[in-house]
Structure 1
Amino acid sequence: MAGLAFVATVCASIVIFHWLRSLSQRVVTNANTRAGGDVVRYFRGDFLDLSKSVVEWLWSEPIEVGRTVSFITRFYYNNGAPFAVSESTNINVEITSPCGMEVVSVVEYIDPKALRDHVGNEIKVTFTVRKSGVHQISIEKNAEPIMKSPFSKIFIPGPLSPAHTILARTTHAALSVITLTEECNHRIMIDARDEYDNKCVSRLNRFDYEEKFKLNVREASDHDVYPPFTWEIKPDHKAQNLLLDLVVYVSGCFKASLTYEGEEIQNGNFDILVLNYSESKEAEGNVGKENLNVWFECRLLSEEDYSNDDSDEPSTSARVSRMHSMGDMFVYPSIKQASSRSKSVGMSHKKLRKVYCYITPKQLIIKEYYFKIFPKRLCTFKVSPATKMLCGDVSEICDLPTIIIDDGFQPRVILSCSRRNVLAATFVGILHHNMGQSQSFEAKVNHFNAQLREHHKLDRGSRKKIELKIDRDDLLHSSFKATKHLSTYDWCQQFIIHFKNENGLDWGGLNREWLFLLCKTIFGRGSEESDGTATESSMFRTMKDDPQALVLPNCASGYKAKYFEFAGKIVGKCLLESAIGGENARQVAGRFARSFLAQMIGLPVTYMYFESDDPDLYMTKVEYVIDNDVTDMELTFSEEVYTAGGALEMTIDLVPHGSKVLVTNSNKHKYLNRVAQYRLSDSIKDEVESFIKGLTSLVPDNLLSVFDENELELVMCGVTKISVDDLKENSTTNGPRFGPTCNWFWAAVTSFSQDELARLLQFTTGCSQLPPDGFKALEPRFKLSIVDYNTGGLPTAHTCFNEICMPHYDSYEDLHRMLRIAITEGATGFGIV
């Protein structure tokens, strides 16, 4: 027994020895890690203990944004002794704003030689905050935070800044007209901001509302006459905005100005159109119509021709700017002069031309009727911020209120209308509606299809079958001959296609193939040679030899007008079949120039269309003329035409005697518009008119006018299947690639429907159709640019570079909303450059 006890004791001693040896090894290893290998200091507790770090905040809370502030952090050993730090200590400080952006800071290590009672255990962090709210301050060493890190610090907004405070009348700052009903309260939101663009309602009090804000309202035609009105500003703390309640007690046109401490706030100058109760109800009813197409009977007072427009007299926009104009509705001081001039040359009330002003969701159209039956479109203005309503005095000729419609590049129109106020209010109401709460594209398409079916009394089950014999080897000419004797009624029937020397039966497939091949023949860039190279397009052409280039009619093709009319009918046929729906739906295989699409719906052509239609000319000439002084360029209002061999063939005057009219800095935009008008419209006028004649023989122009040029392309050509993964993989980013704006952009794009992706593609590249090889075939690549110096505005695009520019936003919701507005309502008037 004694022996067994001895053996057990020896074994237990061996086990305890090995356990103590293992424990000592672990202690030494840990000591080496935490105290530089000094085991003695480890057992003394002489190592850096982040839980004992102390932060001293060198400011008192709360503190305003804009101040440069500092804090000091001191580090200690576990035993309380100061722990010396230096750049090699690897101390990391991160300061994050409420929107997730990193705030740049400067970290200074205190030199022990400069201190008396310290051993260099301090760092000083200095930074400047521009964004109000709670900031997170994280202090770490080797990814291990000090005690209580991260810290939350509150920065409050600064005082109200008039330059940054916005009178938020609409979703877009370009709109300066508001409509009111007399004696009724109208509420306008004021987005109060400090100089760093922080909401600052919390900094205001009753004295600010009653004493520092001032509102001035006066008659537009006489600045010394002030109407009776009342106003009040009060806070909406829930929305962090101010509310301006305004009541004007008489109807008329007025100008208003809102100031804070004597300085005008953004959008603080605005026009007021006050309607009586019946006018207000009529205008409200017009804007609220599901199928909007209202008209007003007017008298045409004067119509400027190009010679008058090209005189040395400043343009309307220049005169308006000198008059301190405030936006979309102005009082035009020379109305009485124009009226008197008309009266002096013998114009009487009976001789004034009666015209009709039609307003649709996208266009304002002036028409005249011959024999009260046959309509003629005189001019078309786009319903956008670029189109100005200039309200004038009562005309001396017909004793009716006057209004001028001017978009800055086509001849302005002066009208007299008994319902002038309702006309202006309807226009402004539609513009507000379009920019903030537009009818969805899907709803427009459904309405268009229903109206087209109703117009032709189309019924899928009762259509006749018309057989067409087509030669596949001579597709265009045989198709033209097979259909040239068909009436409009026949075009609405079901086509049964028989290809020459083929036995196939058409159950829909041959019809679809015929239309697809015919569209490629007409609207393609031309056939291909055996070696795969593209030949010049026949009926349609591009501005450059590029697979991405957009097509427009080719005046040098040699085809007669009837062929272009036939091409228009083919597009109309596709729209008819799509209106019937189901398996009948057909898409037009074509990549149409923006300017050509605009002319289909009666919109004027401007130089901005060069960016998508002829990007080479836009980058080499248009941008250069816009950005530089043209005084010494010796440009004239003329265009030189060269032969294929480079010899000068002729000189075209863009205005009467244009070769003798010099281009100056004041008229260079007008010159560029004339170049665009010639190159994109006048030079192909006959072909475009023939095409539109064929198109409108099947699809009335009033139905087409509900779309803009971008929407029309989507209706005609459909939506290409777009892969977000393909887009992201074949895109480049200019700016912080992994910043919040970039991440939010891709999150928003991932949530888009195919229609919205097509809009994004259209907005960025100028066309909703991808090249056959997808995004990798785009040249240059799709580019996302983060614009750090801009905040909160709408995204812009450079279509010639396939580039979208995204400003900085405070939240994902703001970015998502502004991006959708830009791609759906951003054709013009939204800063696309």
Structure 2
Amino acid sequence: MQRSKRHLLLLTEFFGGGGASCLLCVCVCAPLLPLCARYSARRVTTQHECALVWVQRQVLQSVKAYMRQQNIGSWNALLTGDYLDVTSTTVKGVDHVKAGDVVTFRFSFFTVQGKPCEDITTAGFEPSIETPQNTSVTPVVEKKGSSIVTSFVPTVPGDYTVSATMKGHQIPTSHIVIVTSGPACLEKSTLTPERETVEIFAPFALHLSIHDAHANETVLDPDMEVHAEVTPCSPPHKPSSQYVETAVEVTGARTSITCTARECGVYEVAVHIRRRGEQHSLATRRALIVALTHKQMLQAQQRTSTTYWDAQFYRPRTKSWCKGWLYLTPRQVSVRESWAFIFTSKVFAARISASTSTHVSSSALASCAHLGSAAADLKELMELSPDVIVLDDRKQDPLVVKCPQRTVFLARYFDAVASLGLVSYEMKRDQFFRECKQKQGPPLVVRVRRLQGMEFVHHVREVTKRFGTKEWHADWKVEYAGEQGMDYGGLTRELLTDVITALASSDVGMFSPLSENREAVHIAYPWPHDKLKYYRFAGKIFGKVLFEAQRRQTLSPVRLTSALRSYVLGLHVSYHNFEADDPDLYLRKIKYIIENAVEPLDMTFTDEDEQGQEVELVSDGDNMSVTDDNKFEYLERLAQWRFVTRVDAPLQAFAEGVMKVMPEAALGLLDEQDLELMLCGVPEFQVEDLRANCRVSISCDPPSVLYVFHALASFSRGEQARFLQFVTGQAGVPAGGFANFSPRIEICALEREDCLPEAHTCFNQLVIPRYTSLETCQRCLKTAITEGFQGFALL
């Protein structure tokens, strides 16, 4: 009878524990209890008895399943109610915090009897945090008594909803915490002018944005104020209302500074953030403004492919000024040395980039700690010479020039920087074609014999050996001996393609890839010394392919490395080129040196050649150790050795060959990525193919990923090709489509918002932040694919 009562209690608990369910359970099961007790201890003999036992077993199995589901460890816990009741869980936490603060929530668990559940564990506890803009947060979970404490750090303002599940059961109580922007982080404040070039007597505005440590817009502390002063960047370098009128207006997180220039010149706007009643600045943000007359504004707005000014450039090694010319194209700023008042040679080359700092006053150099002792020399130069311009990309020695027409140059330079994201590849290509068309000559018959391999190369070289620039610019009409074909462009394309294919053949040994998984070729090392004249001829053939790109739609069957293309354009070749041209070396060595301490490696300024012989990268490099302070200098020396120095003669011959054919004004319109597209063409790009065959990290913000694909669909073919170069280091799609990229293109998350994406070409990775709109995504993506890492070069 006692066993029957226990079964009744068990069934009552199983069917609900009270109310109508309990009454129904008793009514149905009570008549069966005597039979269950009677037959549970002896052998079942009749069909009726079997049915009763079957019912008993089914009930017991259901109860055991219920106990497993509710994690009830014993019959005693079931009968006494000493087990977890998820529905009675309470949640306590803060309601309001600032971004960057630690948010803590306590989940308190109780038993069915209402007592604290002491034997609770974190196993099976899964917190869920709904964040604004799908921000990724990582909660930390720990057990404290009968409670589980969950904490996380929010970085984006908004409403966060915290909930959780326990052993698969949803805890019914949730909590909402409101996160606001954190305190002002003055290091994150930015000063942005509406435009860098203004007209005198016309008001212009600059905007100071205050951010917290996580780049969220915030407001200044009540005891802080903003003070603006405008200084002319020519003697006497003193702020005066004689030159500029200023007014400051604070609205929330943004401070507007409105100025009006009364005289032409270059002005430095310095905005100081300081505590009220104090003169010491907690932070200072600077911007340059060029004020012009109406006539000068019209001249600065004229779109020309190349503009130059009389200037002087500074040689750091000799500490002297040299006569030269300052050239500006839509993609490059360069300095050329003039001699005999007739000939010029390029001594500096700079790629126009928004990341490059422009200094025209010595006061701005105070924040350039990366220049070290060179900052003092530059400061002295700028104080002695009022027309000095310093362009610094923070990667190499700054470019220092002195230009009497500094105001007009800076206006054109800032205009070129501002148009980086607006000038598409198609616009540059059309301007490139116009420059080439001006040099095109009349038809010229070129008679050749059809041969194979290097025999054909040697034959074509002999035919064109006495050609001058005029003949290379002519409209070739190729005639093959013994053939009746008429050249309407096809025979010229065939000749150029056959010559390039033969020159780049691995059997010849003139060109070779730097990595096994890259198609692009560089000057082979060791290079065949008996073929130096063929390198110059190869440069002429590549130059002819470029020159005939519009007239004959010629394309190169061979891709060149980014280092080789940069050298041809006069741009600096640096260790950044390893990532695209030699990813194996980059992953094995370069990346490790960049990210880790190198002093334990006991490295010196040396490298090994193909024969395993040690080569010194600097004088006495075998005794010069690589340290954390000079490791980037070591990487630059290594890049110069591998890309340039060891193949200097054929590399220079190849570049001379290209320049023999191509107008320099046309090449100045391009960067190394544009040059690849001009040589090899713009590839077919199917956004749906990319979407179907790329990997997307689980931490990515889904709307932002969709924004990227929508932005790509709206891009021109040239912009799509630049995107491929940005992510993979190459402009083409492998045969078979995006599925054949190795590794597959992957989209990963960047824990920021509305900023430029990043890329790792070694892994074919695109790293994107959270984007709040499609327009922002398009703008940032366009800026990223038009920006680059190239800076300045001293040739």
CA contact (8 A) 1:255 1:272 kept: yes
In structure 1, which of residues 474, 480, 484 is the aligned counterpart of residue 461 of structure 2?
Answer: 480
In structure 2, which of residues 207, 218, 221 is the aligned counterpart of residue 189 of structure 1?
Answer: 207
Task: Identify the range of structure 1 (401-410 vs 472-481) with the bigger mean alpha-carbon deviation.
Answer: 401-410
Q: What secondary structure sits across from 2:270 in the alignment?
A: strand
- The CA distance in 2 between the partners of 1:374 and 1:793, in whole Å, is 45
- The CA distance in 2 between the partners of 1:433 and 1:255, in whole Å, is 22
- The CA distance in 1 between the partners of 2:686 and 2:488, in whole Å, is 32
CA contact (8 A) 1:409 1:673 kept: no
The yes-or-no answer on 1:765 pairing with 2:728 is yes
- The CA distance in 1 between the partners of 2:398 and 2:210, in whole Å, is 38
In structure 1, which of residues 515, 518, 524 is the aligned counterpart of residue 499 of structure 2?
Answer: 518
In structure 1, which of residues 616, 619, 622 is the aligned counterpart of residue 590 of structure 2?
Answer: 622
Deviations 1:657-695 (A, max 9, x none): 655655554433233323322321233333233223332
Change beyond 3 A, Cα 1:661–1:389: farther
Equivalent residue for 2:403?
Answer: 417
Question: Which residue identity does 1:804 align to in structure 2?
Answer: L
- Once the two structures are superposed, the pairs formed by residues 134-145 of structure 1 within 5 Å of their partners are none
The yes-or-no answer on 1:586 pairing with 2:586 is no
CA contact (8 A) 1:190 1:242 kept: yes
Change beyond 3 A, Cα 1:276–1:756: closer
Change beyond 3 A, Cα 1:678–1:267: farther
CA contact (8 A) 2:361 2:382 kept: no
Task: Identify the range of structure 1 (405-414 vs 34-43) with the bigger mean alpha-carbon deviation.
Answer: 34-43
In structure 2, which of residues 293, 315, 319 is the aligned counterpart of residue 303 of structure 1?
Answer: 315
Question: Which residue identity does 1:513 align to in structure 2?
Answer: E
Give the Å deviation of 1:256.
Answer: 2.0
What is the percent sequence identity of the aligned residues?
24
CA contact (8 A) 1:794 1:819 kept: yes
- The CA distance in 2 between the partners of 1:73 and 1:34, in whole Å, is 27
In structure 2, which of residues 548, 555, 558 is the aligned counterpart of residue 577 of structure 1?
Answer: 548
Equivalent residue for 1:441?
Answer: 425
Q: What secondary structure sits across from 1:212 in the alignment?
A: strand
Change beyond 3 A, Cα 1:510–1:68: same
CA contact (8 A) 1:220 1:254 kept: yes
Change beyond 3 A, Cα 1:169–1:668: farther
Alignment length, in residue pairs? 696
Change beyond 3 A, Cα 1:397–1:232: closer
Equivalent residue for 1:213?
Answer: 226
Equivalent residue for 2:570?
Answer: 602
Change beyond 3 A, Cα 1:738–1:375: closer
Equivalent residue for 2:759?
Answer: 797
- The CA distance in 2 between the partners of 1:727 and 1:304, in whole Å, is 48
Q: What secondary structure sits across from 2:284 in the alignment?
A: strand
Equivalent residue for 2:659?
Answer: 696
Q: What secondary structure sits across from 2:548 in the alignment?
A: helix
- The CA distance in 2 between the partners of 1:266 and 1:107, in whole Å, is 43
In structure 2, which of residues 448, 455, 459 is the aligned counterpart of residue 468 of structure 1?
Answer: 448
CA contact (8 A) 2:187 2:283 kept: no
Question: Which residue identity does 1:131 align to in structure 2?
Answer: V
The yes-or-no answer on 1:567 pairing with 2:538 is yes
CA contact (8 A) 2:448 2:459 kept: no
Q: What secondary structure sits across from 2:495 in the alignment?
A: helix
In structure 2, which of residues 682, 686, 689 is the aligned counterpart of residue 723 of structure 1?
Answer: 686
The yes-or-no answer on 1:131 pairing with 2:153 is no
Task: Identify the range of structure 1 (680-689 vs 99-108) with the bigger mean alpha-carbon deviation.
Answer: 99-108
Equivalent residue for 2:257?
Answer: 244
- The CA distance in 2 between the partners of 1:226 and 1:682, in whole Å, is 49
- The CA distance in 2 between the partners of 1:268 and 1:794, in whole Å, is 25
Give the Å deviation of 1:246.
Answer: 3.9
Equivalent residue for 1:117?
Answer: none
CA contact (8 A) 1:157 1:198 kept: yes
Give the Å deviation of 1:772.
Answer: 3.9
Q: What TM-score comes out, normalization by structure 2 length?
A: 0.71
Q: Which protein, 1 or 2, shows the higher relative CO under an 8 Å CA cutoff with sep ≥ 6?
A: 2
Question: Which residue identity does 1:556 align to in structure 2?
Answer: W
CA contact (8 A) 2:125 2:166 kept: yes
Task: Identify the range of structure 1 (794-803 vs 253-262) with the bigger mean alpha-carbon deviation.
Answer: 253-262
Change beyond 3 A, Cα 1:501–1:728: farther
The yes-or-no answer on 1:401 pairing with 2:387 is yes
Q: What TM-score comes out, normalization by structure 1 length?
A: 0.69
Give the Å deviation of 1:598.
Answer: 0.7
Q: What secondary structure sits across from 1:245 in the alignment?
A: strand
- The CA distance in 2 between the partners of 1:611 and 1:736, in whole Å, is 25
Q: What secondary structure sits across from 1:800 in the alignment?
A: coil
In structure 1, which of residues 455, 466, 486 is the aligned counterpart of residue 439 of structure 2?
Answer: 455
- The CA distance in 2 between the partners of 1:761 and 1:732, in whole Å, is 15
Give the Å deviation of 1:592.
Answer: 1.0
Q: Which runs of 5+ in 1 are unaligned?
A: 1-31, 45-52, 76-80, 115-121, 171-176, 309-337, 343-351, 527-534
Give the Å deviation of 1:447.
Answer: 1.0
- The CA distance in 2 between the partners of 1:295 and 1:193, in whole Å, is 40
CA contact (8 A) 2:91 2:174 kept: no
In structure 2, which of residues 408, 413, 418 is the aligned counterpart of residue 427 of structure 1?
Answer: 413
CA contact (8 A) 1:248 1:274 kept: no
CA contact (8 A) 2:88 2:109 kept: yes
Give the Å deviation of 1:405.
Answer: 5.2
- The CA distance in 1 between the partners of 2:163 and 2:396, in whole Å, is 60
Q: Which runs of 5+ in 2 are unaligned?
A: 1-12, 26-86, 363-378
Equivalent residue for 2:81?
Answer: none
Deviations 1:479-538 (A, max 9, x none): 32343344444434444445567676655444433333333223x4x2xxxxxxxx4553
In structure 2, which of residues 300, 304, 312 is the aligned counterpart of residue 291 of structure 1?
Answer: 304
Give the Å deviation of 1:199.
Answer: 3.2
Deviations 1:331-360 (A, max 9, x none): xxxxxxx6xxx6xxxxxxxxx753211122
Give the Å deviation of 1:762.
Answer: 0.7
Q: What secondary structure sits across from 1:759 in the alignment?
A: helix
RMSD, aligned CA: 5.1
- The CA distance in 1 between the partners of 2:496 and 2:237, in whole Å, is 66
Equivalent residue for 2:284?
Answer: 269
Q: What secondary structure sits across from 1:167 in the alignment?
A: strand
- The CA distance in 2 between the partners of 1:703 and 1:358, in whole Å, is 13
- The CA distance in 2 between the partners of 1:801 and 1:641, in whole Å, is 27
Equivalent residue for 2:45?
Answer: none
Give the Å deviation of 1:809.
Answer: 3.7
CA contact (8 A) 1:63 1:154 kept: yes
The yes-or-no answer on 1:542 pairing with 2:513 is yes
Change beyond 3 A, Cα 1:73–1:679: closer
Question: Which residue identity does 1:402 align to in structure 2?
Answer: V
Give the Å deviation of 1:97.
Answer: 3.1
In structure 2, which of residues 623, 628, 633 is the aligned counterpart of residue 670 of structure 1?
Answer: 633
Change beyond 3 A, Cα 1:34–1:804: farther
Equivalent residue for 1:348?
Answer: none
CA contact (8 A) 1:388 1:405 kept: yes
Change beyond 3 A, Cα 1:471–1:554: farther
Change beyond 3 A, Cα 1:124–1:662: closer
Equivalent residue for 2:350?
Answer: 381
Q: What secondary structure sits across from 1:471 in the alignment?
A: coil
Give the Å deviation of 1:609.
Answer: 1.4
- The CA distance in 1 between the partners of 2:284 and 2:213, in whole Å, is 20
- The CA distance in 1 between the partners of 2:380 and 2:481, in whole Å, is 69
Q: What secondary structure sits across from 1:131 in the alignment?
A: coil
Q: What secondary structure sits across from 1:456 in the alignment?
A: coil
Give the Å deviation of 1:588.
Answer: 1.4
Give the Å deviation of 1:388.
Answer: 5.2
Deviations 1:455-474 (A, max 9, x none): 2267xxxx455443332454
Give the Å deviation of 1:705.
Answer: 0.8
- The CA distance in 1 between the partners of 2:645 and 2:515, in whole Å, is 19
Equivalent residue for 2:33?
Answer: none
